[in-house]
Amino acid sequence: MAREGNFKTEPHSQPPSSSSNQQEAGEHLRSWSLEKLLRKLKATETDLDDKFTSILNSLGHFGTFQQKLVALTLLPNLLSAFFMFADIFVFTVPKPYCNTSWILAVGPNLTEAEQLNLTLPRDTNGSFLTCLMYVPVTWDLDDIIQFGLNYTQSCSNGWIYPESKRRSVINEFDLVCGEELNREAVHTTILAGLLIGSLTFGFISDKLGRYTSILLSILGLMIFGFGTAFVGNLNQYLFFRFGVSQALVGFSINSVSLASEWLVGEHRAHAIILGQCFYPLGIMLLTALAYSVPHWRLLFLLGGSLVFSLIFYICILPESPRWLMMKGQVEEAKRVLCFAARENKKNIPLSLLGKLHAPGKKATKASVLDFYNNRQLRKVILAIGCVGFTAGHSYFTLSLKMRDFDMNLYISQMVSAMMELPARLGSIFLFEQFGRKWTLAVILLQGTFMNFLVLNFPSDLKSVVVLMVFVGRFSLSAWIAGFFTYTAELLPTVLRTTGLGLGILAWASGAILSITLINQSLTPLSSSLCLIPSSTVWSTIACTRGP
């Protein structure tokens, strides 16, 4: 009976084993399919790269067409920096005094100084107190002058800013005396826009093309950049800043992709890094305009009006032939290549054009999920995300620490931009001499180490801390210039802008976290986040492959 009982239970134990085997077989099949898809993607990418390298060599490495293309991707970077950092200058904080115009009913001929002297209380040092006023009375002017006023209250009729020579968002919307806006909320809004835009435009670009995405980005700059000058309240201002930051990241990742897919060799790296050099130039332009223009609305009007000069991009901006090929639009790709050859006064041999053919559907069927499902792509994107998060956290932490030094706003921004420009230009030499991978690792380690020292160094040694902040930003600026180049070279065409978008997403996440930690005074934790990924860089960077 025991045998029989054992025999009877055996059939019940078999199905789970069979089910488990089937599940393992299914997982193995899916894994094999993904690896097969990746191999096909790599083979297609390599094949296309060889063909395009030959074609681009035949039409000229860096002829008239490529020079115009680079110029088209450079100019909007000036405006990108303008809109990205405008908040620094439009949120200057003036001294708010209560509006005490009630006294003009009994003394209409009083000067502003006399009005303030009679209606505002003073501090022990003799200066007027902000956010407080004497309680209004119904006396005549002589009694007020003779006996004075004694009882105070908070402002009841708005505020005035007699010492302010500039019109900022603060005094435009009266964000004072209990109504203050946490400036970090503005930074977070901008970074949230970068985060959302990196995903949105990365997906749009890989699906609809670089040309379409760049035009949508320019349209966003027109609507949200120029439109910021006409907002009626703070919520509208934040909404428009959220929108413009999405447009900024959209143009950034698509211009990098377009340059990397039209240029070959070191011309590609030079063009991308040169584009990054226009960001500090844009900050210099912004600083000069902000110093000269007294009203924040006029500042946005001037910057926003320049965006309308980019409308002609509709007619002259080319699509990426690599993207067209990956999407099966072979004839359109040939047409674009022939147009470039005519611009350069070159001829592409028909034998080379004849080799271009549409890749198989399976080779071009790629999505953002491949970054998770495929082992090799997962390693690459994790490495990109790790270093992007570290750099974003460190760079933004150093930027926030700059505010603690009570430096002149315009001088500090101009000096920072003047330092970042040679840092980005110098990265060209470093990448040519030492390669992308180790150069990026070393300068990121240097930047994060400076960040660690700044957060833990005695604050009374102000000059030393300021020097370390500038050295850290110098290193991280060079890293940012190389990061776009290296990432664009690592990723396949069908996933290039999506991968760049994920890298910027990691950068924005690190920046948002730095705001939170600094506000909560969690300096030790922030220091740890600077150093921990630095060691991770050395282990993950080996997983990536590039020039």
pLDDT on residue 530: 60
Distance between CA atoms of 488 and 276, rounded to whole angstroms? Answer: 14
pLDDT on residue 222: 92
Look at the alpha carbons of 419, 420, 421, 424 in this order and tell me if their dihedral is positive or negative. positive
Closest CA to 483 of 421, 536, 437: 437
Closest CA to 382 of 503, 256, 492: 503
* Digitized pLDDT (tens) for each residue of the chain, 547 residues in all: 334 334 333 444 444 444 444 444 444 444 444 445 445 545 555 555 666 777 777 777 788 888 898 888 888 888 888 898 898 888 888 888 888 888 888 888 888 888 888 888 888 888 888 888 888 888 888 878 878 888 888 888 888 888 888 888 888 888 888 777 777 788 888 889 998 998 888 888 888 888 999 999 999 999 999 999 999 888 999 999 999 999 999 998 898 888 888 887 788 888 888 888 898 999 999 999 999 998 999 999 998 898 998 888 888 888 888 888 888 888 888 888 888 888 888 887 787 777 777 665 544 566 666 667 777 778 888 888 888 888 888 888 888 887 777 778 888 889 888 988 999 988 888 888 887 778 888 888 888 888 888 887 777 777 888 888 888 888 888 888 888 888 888 877 777 888 888 888 888 888 888 888 777 766 666 655 665 555 555 455 444 444 4
442 backbone dihedrals φ, ψ, rounded to 5°: -70, -45
Bridge partner residues of 160 (DSSP): 97
Closest CA to 131 of 175, 165, 166: 175
Q: Is there a contact between 235 and 176 (Cβ–Cβ < 8 Å)? A: no
Q: Is there a contact between 194 and 508 (Cβ–Cβ < 8 Å)? A: yes
DSSP 441-483: HHHHHHHHHHHHHHHHS-TT-HHHHHHHHHHHHHHHHHHHHHH
pLDDT on residue 384: 83
- Give the pairing of strands 97-98 and 159-160: antiparallel
pLDDT on residue 526: 61
Q: Amino acid identity of 93?
A: V
Instruction: Give the CA diameter of the chain.
Output: 119
Domains of the chain and any CATH numbers: 44-89+174-364 (1.20.1250.20), 97-163 (no CATH), 366-547 (1.20.1250.20)
Closest CA to 347 of 86, 58, 33: 58
Please give the distance of CA 92 from its chain centroid, rounded to a whole number.
22
Distance between CA atoms of 531 and 101, rounded to whole angstroms? Answer: 56
Distance between CA atoms of 256 and 331, rounded to whole angstroms? Answer: 24
**Model pTM score:** 0.81
